[in-house]
């Protein structure tokens, strides 16, 4: 008998569906209110089809002229977009295009880390890090985002995280799912910490343009800070509501010598993949020019749903929306009479409402669930009303 094929230990995760996935399967296709919807193309948002398709039909795409950092026309469009965020020029020569922010992370892990070395990452945060780091053979060193009515970076935990074999600090600006931006002081702290220890700062700004209000203490884009070697991530997925077109970017900033050394090596990595397609790169100027209309429509829904959550879950409700400043997600604290997973299962099975349990994002303690503010408004309002009813019954009973 032939021996079985061996697979990499990087793929160590269980292939078994979690309890929530099994509960959805048991419904046998019965409908439910999905309060986890984060796909803009499925949430009723889209750019006007005619100009998008026309931009993608550029005949220059028929000729293959690869550029490792990305086609100049696309990098210039991204540079102009970033300049609009900070009011300062950005050089297209300091931008490298990728197919997605996930790919950008993979490239940066390869650029900055030898196998077994670490990356400091915030918690709570999006669970994708565990997989991307595992595939790259990189260890995660968590630092805390603490909550006291607003979220903030726990500086002691950052110092503890970088005391080990860490090569970079990741910040998410604003964080997913906490919706918290870095303050100006926090960005300065992270930059100074990285500079003191010879580390890089990776700042994920895919939700940066989706602020829910004005805050004079909020940090601007990390693409304009030069206190340490920094890599700022963005992309069409959240900026323009076009996740299917697969275009992201890395903007490199910091001390000139370190930036130049990083770009030479990053270009080698990019040249090994040549990921972004020519049609989307040639279309980038048009797509970024159309994006503000998408963001305006999204902003109206985010604010309406946030107001609905605050109204329907107002005291004395036992479900409390946490403070958020931006992004598309809203964490809720529920009574700790059961775990967040148990609440998610009860809401699905008893109310036909799908939420995500907080452990998906490594929330500390219990009981947290997370909902998407991108959900269509009528579904969101109905779901919030059902959630409150379920919590009220639990408290009364």
How many residues would you count in the chain? 397
> What average pLDDT does this structure show over 365-375?
96
Instruction: Please report the pLDDT score of residue 315 as a whole number.
Output: 87
Structure tokens at 140: 């995660």
pLDDT digits (tens, 9 = 90+) for 193-245: 999 999 999 999 999 999 999 999 999 999 999 999 999 999 999 999 999 99
pLDDT digits (tens, 9 = 90+) for 82-135: 999 987 899 999 999 999 999 999 999 999 999 999 999 999 999 888 999 999
pLDDT above 70 as % of the chain: 99
The b/e string for 62-101 (b: 16+ C-beta within 10 A; e otherwise) is: eeeeebebbbebbbbbbbebbbebeeeebebebbbbbbbb
Q: What is the pTM of this model?
A: 0.96
The distance from CA 236 to its chain's CA centroid, rounded to whole angstroms, is 12
Split at pLDDT 50, 70, 90, the class of 15 is: confident
**H or E element: which one contains 23?**
helix 19-26
Domains of the chain: 19-46+292-396 (3.90.1150.10), 58-290 (3.40.640.10)
CA dihedral in degrees (312, 313, 316, 317; nearest 10)? 120
What is each CA distance from 195 to 45, 189, 201, 255, in whole angstroms?
Answer: 41, 10, 9, 10
Split at pLDDT 50, 70, 90, the class of 1 is: low
């Amino acid at each position: 008998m032939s021996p079985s094929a061996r697979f990499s230990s990087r793929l160590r995760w269980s292939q078994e569906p979690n309890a929530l996935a099994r509960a959805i399967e048991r419904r046998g296709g019965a409908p439910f209110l999905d309060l986890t919807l984060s796909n803009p193309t499925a949430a009723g948002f889209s750019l006007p089809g005619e100009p998008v398709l026309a931009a993608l039909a550029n005949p220059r795409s028929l000729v293959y002229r690869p550029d490792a950092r990305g086609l100049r026309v696309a990098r210039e469009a991204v540079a102009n977009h970033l300049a609009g965020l900070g009011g300062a020029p950005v050089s297209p020569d300091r931008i490298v295009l990728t197919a997605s922010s996930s790919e950008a992370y993979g490239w940066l892990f390869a650029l900055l880390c030898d196998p077994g070395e670490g990356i400091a990452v915030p918690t709570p945060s999006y669970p994708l890090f565990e997989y991307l780091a595992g595939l790259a053979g990189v260890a995660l060193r968590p630092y805390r985002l603490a909550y006291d009515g607003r979220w903030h970076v726990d500086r002691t935990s950052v110092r503890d995280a970088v005391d080990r074999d860490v090569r970079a600090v990741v910040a998410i600006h604003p964080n997913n799912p906490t919706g918290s931006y870095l303050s100006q002081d926090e960005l300065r702290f992270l930059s100074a910490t990285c500079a003191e220890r010879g580390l890089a700062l990776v700042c994920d700004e895919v939700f940066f343009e989706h602020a829910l209000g004005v805050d004079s203490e909020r940090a601007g884009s990390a693409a304009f800070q030069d206190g340490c070697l920094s890599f700022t991530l963005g992309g069409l997925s959240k900026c323009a509501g076009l996740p299917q077109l697969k275009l992201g970017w890395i903007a490199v900033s910091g001390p000139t010598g370190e930036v130049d050394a990083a770009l030479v090596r990053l270009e080698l990595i990019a040249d090994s993949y040549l990921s972004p397609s020519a049609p989307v790169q040639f279309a980038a100027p048009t797509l970024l020019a159309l994006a503000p209309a998408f963001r305006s429509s999204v902003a109206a829904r985010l604010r309406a749903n946030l107001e609905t959550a605050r109204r329907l879950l107002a005291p004395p409700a036992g479900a409390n929306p946490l403070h958020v400043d931006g992004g598309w997600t809203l964490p809720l604290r529920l009574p700790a009479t059961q775990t967040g997973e148990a609440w998610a299962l009860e809401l699905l099975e008893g109310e036909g409402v799908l939420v995500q349990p907080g452990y998906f994002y490594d929330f500390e303690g219990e009981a947290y669930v997370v909902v998407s503010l991108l959900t269509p408004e009528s579904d969101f309002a109905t779901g919030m009303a059902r959630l409150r009813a379920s919590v009220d019954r639990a408290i009364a009973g």
